[in-house]
Structure 1
Amino acid sequence: MRPEGSLTYWVPERLRQGFCGVGRAAQALVELEPVNAQARKAFSRQREKMERRRKPHLDRRGAVIQSVPGFWANVIANHPQMSALITDEDEDMLSYMVSLEVEEEKHPVHLCKIMLFFRSNPYFQNKVITKEYLVNITEYRASHSTPIEWYLDYEVEAYRRRHHNSSLNFFNWFSDHNFAGSNKIAESPDRSYVRTCGAIPCNTTRG
């Protein structure tokens, strides 16, 4: 018996079936979540395993690269897009570069970190210069760059290069994420060198 004052609505059969279908789909997703979680853990373990297997190879390759004088200066200066940024001074600074590494973090945000490693040189004190990019589906955006700690003997020239040079040069581009053109990442002509962080002008990637 229907309670006094209650209303009864007629619901078409197709609509009623649709509601039931949505409910069943939602229930199926809930039931699949443990399976998805297990799959994510398995993928993470497999990725870590592959990274451990790759590390000795990357270390050996890094040692070979470090034994080649001026390797990174030549790679970057001869890159089709990067070459436009390289001045003679940049090339000399890059001759002290010994390694390049890329790290990728996906939590709490998708972040790509490019790190340049240098031996002692007459220009700056930094052993590592870092540039970070926030990455999403449609774009990447420079979010942080390591300030370069110039030696006093070169500080005046570094200031001139930054404030009185209308053209973008490599170290201004890399070390200041607020600099015009800083968001650009040179596209590698060899796509096998590229990982999910975006195109980079090298083949040494980790993370």
Structure 2
Amino acid sequence: SNNEDGNERNHNDEEIQKALEEVDSCQNEIDALNEQASEEILKVEQKYNLLRNPLYEKRNESLNKIPHFWVTAFVNHPDLSTILSDSEEDCLHHLSKVTIEEFEDIKSGFKLGFYFEENPYFENRVLTKEYHLDSLEEPTSKSTTIKWKEGFDLTSTKHATSKPGQKRGTEHKSFFSWFNDHSDPLSDDIAEIIKDDIYINPLQYFLVPDVGVDNGVDDEEGSDQEDETEEQGGGITGDTDEETHDIQNTVSE
């Protein structure tokens, strides 16, 4: 009987080994298909990036006709608004255009472009931040050196204070400290928000001041957030509110 038990165990081991080899063979085929799919998806992405670019340019031309468009969209974004100081918000009133340039093979990185009118804060008319994420090399990022005008450096201690109520998990204390930070290009939450959320459809943030309610937060919680924002000096005030309201009505009609 010992021999029988031994033979049965050997038989089971052989069956298990054979099954493992079959699974391994299937897995290799699945991996090969996944790799092929990734390559084809990348080609499709590249194709549609080229098709989208002229539309983004056309959209930017139209957005230029709307006063304070980008600062309104930024301030109305629930995450981005938490890192904007009042001085930065004022500075971003001079932001006239935002661009995203995907590198040709997409996977290796992208470049954010921020175009400014002449303003009291810095000399630059264009600020860019590039992300080089090639998997074969160490990921890096680099950004334009900002030529601050005297007394207007928003990264100095005098200006670098974020609004109260900054969300936990928002690593950067202010917009311009994020712009100058290159410590972790692979986990850049702000770049991700601008590139994959706001830039895709900025109109939704321009037209919806109370984004919390729109995202399914109940009215009571939404109004609490609104009160909090007012106390913190957040949101676009004055003429821009009226302009946004007029545009909302026009779009609704």
Amino acid in structure 2 at the alignment position of 1:156 = G
User: Distance between the aligned counterparts of 2:101 and 2:65, measured in 1?
Assistant: 23
Deviation at 1:157, TM superposition (A): 3.5
Partner of 2:61 in structure 1? 63
| Corresponding residue of 1:162 | 156
Aligned to 1:203: 198
> Are the aligned partners of 1:96 and 1:120 in contact in 2 as well (CA < 8 Å)?
yes
Change (3 A) 1:174 1:55: same
Match of 1:49 in 2: 47
1:129 aligns with 2:133: no
Question: Which amino acid in structure 2 is aligned with residue 167 of structure 1?
Answer: T
Q: Determine if contact 2:127/2:146 at 8 Å carries over to the other structure.
A: no
- Report the equivalent of 1:139: none
Match of 1:96 in 2: 94
C-alpha separation in 2, matches of 1:93 and 1:147:
17
1:106 corresponds to 2:93: no
Gaps of at least 5 residues in structure 1 are: 1-8, 135-141, 187-196
Greater relative CO, 1 or 2 (CA 8 Å, sep 6+): 2
Q: Are the structure 2 counterparts of residues 184 and 20 from structure 1 closer, same or farther at C-alpha, using a change threshold of 3 Å?
A: closer
Residues 11-33 of structure 1 show CA distances to partners (whole Å, capped at 9, x for unaligned) of 62111111112222323344555
In angstroms, what is the RMSD of aligned CA positions? Answer: 3.9
Question: Which of 175, 179, 186 lines up with 1:175 in the alignment?
Answer: 179
The alignment partner of 1:68 has SS state of coil
CA contact (8 A) 1:98 1:119 kept: yes
Greater strand fraction, Structure 1 or Structure 2 = 1
Q: How far apart, in 1, do the equivalents of 2:64 and 2:101 lie?
A: 20
Q: Which amino acid aligns with 2:156?
A: R
Distance 2:76 2:33 in 1: 48
Structure 1 residues 148, 70: closer, same or farther in 2, change over 3 A?
Answer: farther
Q: Deviations over 1:129-155 (max 9, x none)?
A: 327598xxxxxxx9645254224xx23
Distance of aligned partners of 1:80 and 1:44 in 2 relative to their CA distance in 1, 3 Å threshold: closer
State the identity %.
19
Tell me the TM-score normalised to structure 1 length: 0.60
Amino acid at match of 1:175: F
Amino acid at match of 1:158: D
Q: Hey, what's the Cα distance between the residues in 2 that align with 1:23 and 1:176?
A: 52
Structure 2: 5+ residue stretches without partners: 1-5, 134-138, 163-172, 202-253
Out of 16, 19, 23, the residue aligned to residue 17 of structure 2 is 19
Query: Which amino acid in the other structure matches residue 130 of structure 1?
Result: K
Query: TM-score scaled to structure 2, two decimals?
Result: 0.51
- Displacement of 1:36 in angstroms is 4.0
CA distance in 2 between counterparts of 1:83 and 1:33 reads 42
